[in-house]
Structure 1
Amino acid sequence: MPEPLIWKKRIRTIRDFNYSDIMQAGVLRERLLHSSYSLTESRIILEISRRTSLTATDLSRDLGLDPGYLSRLLGRLETGGVIERPRSKRDGRRRVLKLTPGGKRIAGLLNRRVDDDIAEYLAGLTECDQSRLMDAIHVINEINDSRGNRIADSRYFLREAEPSDAERIARGYEALFEQTFGSAGEFRQALTDTAALLFEITDLRQAHCWIAEMNGESVGSIVLEQLDQDRLHIKLLMVEPKRRGLGIGGSLLDQAIRFANGTDSKQMLIWTIRDQRRLQGMLSKRGFKQTDRPTVSYYGMSFEVESWTLDLRE
């Protein structure tokens, strides 16, 4: 066995290595060292333990987890008394992830077990193979870092939603709502009503939805409904957190505007949560004007919003 400091450094190097690569190598077991938590749950607990001001959106992006799946896992951990989700002191719209006192004890145990598991893995290698492994990890990290500096493949396309998309659309918006505001109990009714407007067969279709797809995945969507005879309302707009910054939100807005300009409506309206600067910029660029900053009630919930309107071509 090498010197203790070298030994600890090698354990740390493997721990810092991408978790998915460790799992593929067989270093971490599906049930992390016989704990009562799955590998994914253990990853979440460990990630929360080492970072501050972490949100569900951050976790979804960094661990590559589906927002809906992550939301369910976080709900189980919260119910089990492992984590809590207080509102951020800096931004009351955001909920941060924190370990409870019991969660911190669990994280400490998991950390010790991970170190022991990696030590057991290393002990089965010769000194020469341990050194080769460290070199290989450094090379992989260098390649991944250089890859990250290149422009990612940002090709996506838009299509109109179909009835088979209803559940996926609802799940995406529900997960985003839970990450931002907490329990989505009341909001589920809004999603049910929206699906009825989109997909129930009527003489006059009252709403339309477009989905952005990338590499076979849904990465964003927009829902446009007829508010009254003269106005169309952008009811829902979402881009998956890990796909933001690629222009998807703007493309969805442009599609909705093109459709609206082909109708008899005179104005398009959108309500946004206050002070969303990126969205404000997207709206301003397309000619939307902020008209009001009301507090609105929506399915039993109260929100401080901004009202933006766009005059459509006659």
Structure 2
Amino acid sequence: MVSSSSEGLTQAVRRFQWFYARHARAPHEVVEHSALSLMEMRVLFAVMHAGACTAADISRALGLDTGYLSGMLTQFERSGLVERRPFAGDARSNLVSSTAAGEAGLAAASAHVRDDVSATLDALTPGERAQLIESMERVERLLFP
């Protein structure tokens, strides 16, 4: 039984996070199908979904150290996954955007995750699927109103 105390709630959320990571084949699965680390995948995903953005934008969005991120972006650029071009608004900054190769690599790894999640969800009845969707929506509303 979950207590109403902050400690009990924290333990319940952490227990669910571990459950989800083990059973839902969440982001850690991406790494199995990619040469990139999970953090590298997160950065590439953020760049792709932001369109053209600055390193500072990515750093703020993901809570990453700018030095660490700079090195990662340099490696991505050398590998042809992103491109950088001068930012007209600030001569000290560059706009970063994903390349076709970066998007293709991310799409391939993401397809494996989607297939794994689909296989898990295919075992549910239509009623269980509806319950799951409702429960996930409720968690989102409660944690991020």
Q: Same fold (TM over 0.5)?
A: yes
The answer to whether structure 1 residue 61 and structure 2 residue 60 are counterparts is yes
Q: Which one-letter code corresponds to 1:114 in the other structure?
A: V
- 1:286-306 superposed Cα distances (whole Å, 9 cap, x missing partner): xxxxxxxxxxxxxxxxxxxxx
* Aligned position for 1:135: 134
Aligned length in residues: 126
- SS in structure 1 opposite 2:26? coil
* Aligned position for 2:76: 77
Q: Which has a greater percent of helix? A: 2
Q: Which one-letter code corresponds to 1:73 in the other structure?
A: M
* Aligned position for 2:104: 105
- SS in structure 2 opposite 1:117? helix
- 1:243-273 superposed Cα distances (whole Å, 9 cap, x missing partner): xxxxxxxxxxxxxxxxxxxxxxxxxxxxxxx
Give matches, 1:247-286, under 5 Å. none
* Aligned position for 1:49: 48
TM-score by length of 2: 0.67
Post-superposition shift, 1:40?
1.6
1:31–1:145 Cα change, 3 Å: closer
Q: How many percent identity over aligned positions?
A: 28
1:89–1:23 Cα change, 3 Å: farther
* Aligned position for 2:20: 25
- 1:3-42 superposed Cα distances (whole Å, 9 cap, x missing partner): xxxxxxxxxxxxxxxxxx9886123253514211122211
Q: Is the 8 A contact 1:46 1:111 kept in 2?
A: no
Q: Which has a greater percent of strand? A: 1
Q: Is the 8 A contact 2:81 2:98 kept in 1?
A: yes
Q: Is the 8 A contact 1:46 1:107 kept in 2?
A: yes
- 1:135-169 superposed Cα distances (whole Å, 9 cap, x missing partner): 222122222333xxxxxxxxxxxxxxxxxxxxxxx
Residues in 1 aligned to 2:96 and 2:18: alpha-carbon distance in whole angstroms? 25
Post-superposition shift, 1:107?
2.7
Post-superposition shift, 1:91?
4.0
Give matches, 1:133-212, under 5 Å. 133-146=132-145
Q: Which one-letter code corresponds to 1:28 in the other structure?
A: A
Q: Is the 8 A contact 2:86 2:94 kept in 1?
A: yes
Give matches, 1:209-224, under 5 Å. none
* Aligned position for 1:40: 39
Q: Is the 8 A contact 1:49 1:104 kept in 2?
A: yes
Q: Which one-letter code corresponds to 1:122 in the other structure?
A: L
Q: Is the 8 A contact 1:31 1:37 kept in 2?
A: no
1:48–1:120 Cα change, 3 Å: farther
Give matches, 1:209-248, under 5 Å. none
Residues in 1 aligned to 2:127 and 2:72: alpha-carbon distance in whole angstroms? 40
* Aligned position for 2:9: none
Residues in 2 aligned to 1:99 and 1:132: alpha-carbon distance in whole angstroms? 37
Highest RCO, 1 vs 2 (Cα 8 Å, sep ≥ 6): 2
Post-superposition shift, 1:98?
1.0
Give matches, 1:110-125, under 5 Å. 110-125=109-124
Unaligned runs of 5+ residues in structure 1 are 1-20, 147-314
TM-score by length of 1: 0.35
1:109–1:80 Cα change, 3 Å: same
Q: Is the 8 A contact 2:29 2:113 kept in 1?
A: no
Root mean square deviation of aligned Cα: 2.8
- 1:220-246 superposed Cα distances (whole Å, 9 cap, x missing partner): xxxxxxxxxxxxxxxxxxxxxxxxxxx
Q: Which one-letter code corresponds to 1:75 in the other structure?
A: T
